[in-house]
Amino acid sequence: MAEQNRKILFSRERIATEVKRLGQEISRDYGDEEVMLVGVLKGSFLFIADLIRELETPAIVDFVRLASYGSGTQTSGIIEFRKELEMPIKDRHVIIVEDIVDSGYTLECLFNKLLLQNPRSLKICTLIDKRARREVDIEADYIGISMEDGFIIGYGLDHDEKYRDLPDIYLVEES
């Protein structure tokens, strides 16, 4: 991808501001009650690392790895679990931590699966809420930044596994 085909949409400063706010909201809601953050790999690895350091609430971490079939910038709606949780979530306050919600299929699938394991509570925190292509009725409880449409990369988000390392989030312009 040529560098002229991307431009900064959300700067590292904006991201840091929103992550700090999310940390404050979660800390206010849970107080001293321990939460378990469930990061959805791979895209959320930077977000969860920054978010957990903004929490005053005690937190533990686990990860799942999900992949939706199909490549490029389109989701297929078929979700594959490539890595399961390692800790039981029964009776815990669980927060799913996602990089981005697009069609919503990934989150819906994970949410319903975790709900069957009887957490004490189950909420969703997403850095980016991309609203234009939502196909299932699912809303995150904590939202960093909302946007309408467009494919973005950076701060964990990839295009064919590249660009996760960029500190800012870029909009990829179709050319």
Closer to ligand IMP by Cβ: residue 17 or 68: 68
Contact pick of 39, 43, 119, 144 for ligand IMP (by CB under 6 A): 43
Does 103 contact ligand IMP by CB under 6 A?
Answer: yes
Q: Is 43 in the site for Mg ion (CB under 5 A)?
A: yes
Q: Which stretch binds ligand IMP (CB under 6 A): 17-25, 55-63, 100-108, 116-124?
A: 100-108
Can 149 be counted among the known catalytic residues?
A: no
What span, in angstroms and rounded, lies between the C-alpha atoms of 111 and 126? 13
| Position 104 contacts Mg ion (CB under 5 A) | no
Residue nearer to ligand IMP on the CB measure, 89 or 128: 128
- Indicate which single residue of 89, 106, 110, 170 sits in contact with ligand IMP (rule: CB under 6 A): 106
Size, binding site for ligand IMP by CB under 6 A: 18
Residue 102 interacting with ligand IMP (CB under 6 A) = yes
Show which residues are catalytic: 102
